[in-house]
Amino acid sequence: MKKITKIEIENSRAYYDRLTFSMEKGENVLLYGENGSGKTSLYKSLNDFIQSFYSHVSYTTNRYKPAGVAGEVILTIGDYNDITGEVDNIVKYRYAEGVDNTSVAGTAFLKSLALTKGFLNYKDLLKVYLYEDDNPNLFNFFIEHLLKDHVASAQGLNSSLALEWKQIKQDIFNVYNRNEVRHQRGLQKLVKFEKVLRSVLDSLFKEVNNYLVHYFNNFALHIDYDLKSMSFDYGTKGKGAWKIEQDLRLKISIGSSSIKGFTEGLNEARLSAIAICLYLAALKANPGKELHLMFLDDIFIGIDSSNRWAILDILEHEFKDFQIIMATYDRSWYCLARNFLTNHHGNRWKFINLYSLPKTDNGLSFFVPIMTVGTSAYNRAKEYLHGQRPVDLPAAANYFRKALEELISEKYLPKELFMSDDYSLIPGYKLTKHIGALIDLFVKTGEDMVKIMTIKSYLHPLIHPLSHYEEEAQVYRNELVAVEEAIKGLYSQIENLNKRCRILIGRNNIVEIRYETADKSYFAKYQIQLDDNIWVYKDKNGAAHLTKCNCKCVLMEGKLNGNILPPFKPNKRMQNYNNFYYASLDEALQKIYDFEVNTKKHAVTAHNDYDIVFRLLGKNFYEPFVQKRNEILASM
């Protein structure tokens, strides 16, 4: 297996000066780049480099470089030892204007790589679903793009599907009449080609559905294809009417419901997931030889953050042998992904930031890319603590604090956890309040408290003083090591909790409890205001629960024998006002039911799994409580 250890690029597209990307041990790369910073130029330059070993590719220089100034892209590639993690037998390969790479010895693996679908950007995804037709014919997309270079050797073909298809059309149409041997041979090839194509598509869609089921199971998607028989028709108006049936469409369902017009019937997140899975399945079927490379440029645009993790899971479990370069313009997503990858596969990834800075040369002003290697606050703290940088314990404490401010925030946890009474977010620097909110959630959901309490215990005596100037602050390395371990564990704990805990209803919202008698002669509704959030979560055994929530009754209305009853609003001047406060929604249901049955003597029906509870979404607009709860549970 081969890996890239260095990319050098100069005078190529946006790159004016030489820039070097180092991956000494063949690491993957997560790349953040703001618009105009050069990440797409890197994508195109690398793609040109690889294609140059298969066919001639014109070199594109920087538009601001004087004419005649040479540019180059150099890749350093070696043999990767999966056991030691080292790369040896290093060789440099160069792409530049006037360099013919098609005849370079020992580059069969690069020629093979040029025929894969390893380079994928957002525009490629749009080719799957951005059409005016709500169920478009995708025959050309599959044959001339997605599976263009796929060689179905297992089915007996020696050339790519696109070349086979091109040859078949030439044999059938480039003749004088239907009796020519070449024409008849083309018709025979057409029959075989259809069988091969169906076999390739069967395998492809099996893999796509594997991804959808295992990684996007909350979408409940299933995808298949409908390929019409590729029959040949002579028509009735001479050779100009000859045609081959070329019709391939997608069949998509959600659960048991078929989606007829998928481009209109599915949201962009589902469409993007389908497109990504199609490309990844095609790449897995044709991965290249020795060097397996994937460059994903801003493919996450159409997918919400919660479903982006599925892509990382696919890459981790299905493409372990690939070297991956993943680029994004989304800074918050970059930070989330960086921290996730650092904690799970830190030695396998490098994190790079690209920015653009103004430059003036030869009387011209323009922007050029610059690079910084992105290290998280947590990793920077470890460097100061363990000596990768000059040991500086106060600096380590300061970076640990920054890591905590980021981790225990709305970046990783629902924003409702950190809302103040006026619905504004509590600032991240108020770390004590954020930790208190997280402790409260942990208690309610039965989470292990060791790590968060370790952090809390060191917050005031250690992390706070060392983050500011305090002449007498004591510095204890062992305590900082304990903080390091606690933060590492907390990352994993929060990640795990996020997968099985969601906000159901935020505090200060209203739920309505409705009681009525079997004969419907009596009806009552109680509006309950929540003093805290209600979370729905699954425990470690998979059982679903709701968190307890202090709440109070703010309004009671009803009808008796068709007559509207006077509305009742509890107020603080009432001696029994505390009777209208409840420790949880369950307690409210039970006490109100007891009040209706035992005090008011109404034979109302008791609730069954919150079936008489409704969420107030707007003026006179309610949603069944269990509907939202069940949707959340289904997505976990």
Sequence-distant (≥ 6) Cβ neighbours of residue 132 within 8 angstroms: none
Segment 267-274 shows an average pLDDT of 92
Q: What is the torsion angle, in degrees rounded to the nearest 10, for the CA atoms of residue 29, residue 30, residue 36 and residue 42?
A: 20
d(CA 342, CA 353): 15
According to DSSP, the residues that pair with 222 across neighbouring strands are 253
d(CA 533, CA 51): 55
Compute φ and ψ for 30, nearest 5 degrees: -105, 120
Report domain extents, the chain.
1-116+288-374, 127-286, 377-501, 506-635
Segment 472-478 shows an average pLDDT of 62
Specify whether the CB–CB gap between 59 and 355 falls below 8 A: no
Segment 166-193 shows an average pLDDT of 95
DSSP 289: S
Distance set, CA 155 to CA 34, 117, 150 (Å): 45, 20, 12
Q: Please provide the distance, in angstroms rounded to a whole number, between the alpha carbons at the two ends of the chain.
A: 37
Q: To which H or E segment does residue 202 belong?
A: helix 181-215
**Nearest CA-CA partner of 468 in 460, 458, 457:** 460
What's the pLDDT tens digit per position in 318-336?
A: 999 999 999 999 988 888 8
Q: What is the pLDDT of residue 470?
A: 46
pLDDT reading at 383 higher than 60: yes
Compute φ and ψ for 335, nearest 5 degrees: -65, -45
pLDDT reading at 261 higher than 50: yes
Specify whether the CB–CB gap between 303 and 275 falls below 8 A: no
Q: What is the pLDDT of residue 430?
A: 86
Specify whether the CB–CB gap between 59 and 50 falls below 8 A: no
pLDDT reading at 392 higher than 80: yes
pLDDT band at residue 303 under the 50/70/90 scheme: confident
Distance set, CA 182 to CA 162, 163, 164, 168 (Å): 19, 17, 14, 10
What's the pLDDT tens digit per position in 145-173?
A: 999 999 988 888 889 999 999 999 999 99
Specify whether the CB–CB gap between 117 and 279 falls below 8 A: yes
What's the pLDDT tens digit per position in 29-85?
A: 999 998 889 999 999 999 999 999 999 999 999 999 998 899 999 999 999 998 898
Pairing of β 349-361 and β 28-33: parallel
**Nearest CA-CA partner of 303 in 330, 278, 340:** 330
Quick one: what percent of the chain has pLDDT higher than 70? 97
Q: What is the pLDDT of residue 374?
A: 67
Where is average pLDDT lowest: 162-171, 288-297, 344-353, 540-549?
344-353
d(CA 527, CA 550): 14
Q: Is 313 helix (H, G, I), strand (E, B) or coil?
A: helix
Q: Which amino acid is at 130?
A: L
Token output for 17: 């000066």
> Using alpha carbons only, how large is the chain's radius of gyration in Å?
31
Q: What is the pLDDT of residue 471?
A: 45
What's the pLDDT tens digit per position in 397-455?
A: 889 999 999 889 888 888 888 888 777 888 877 888 999 999 999 999 999 999 999 99
Q: Is 267 helix (H, G, I), strand (E, B) or coil?
A: coil
Sequence-distant (≥ 6) Cβ neighbours of residue 522 within 8 angstroms: 516, 558, 559, 560, 561, 602, 604
Q: Which amino acid is at 64?
A: Y
Q: What is the pLDDT of residue 472?
A: 43
pLDDT reading at 86 higher than 80: yes
pLDDT reading at 228 higher than 90: yes
d(CA 444, CA 533): 11
Determine if residue 392 is left, alpha or beta; phi over 0 gives left, psi from -120 to 50 gives alpha, anything else beta: beta
Q: What is the pLDDT of residue 461?
A: 62
CB neighbours of residue 546 within 10 Å:
18
pLDDT reading at 620 higher than 80: no
d(CA 220, CA 244): 35
Distance set, CA 561 to CA 264, 372, 592, 603 (Å): 48, 75, 21, 14
The mean predicted confidence, pLDDT, of the chain is: 91
CATH of 1-116+288-374, one of 3.40.50.300, 3.20.20.100, 3.30.1280.10, 2.40.340.10: 3.40.50.300
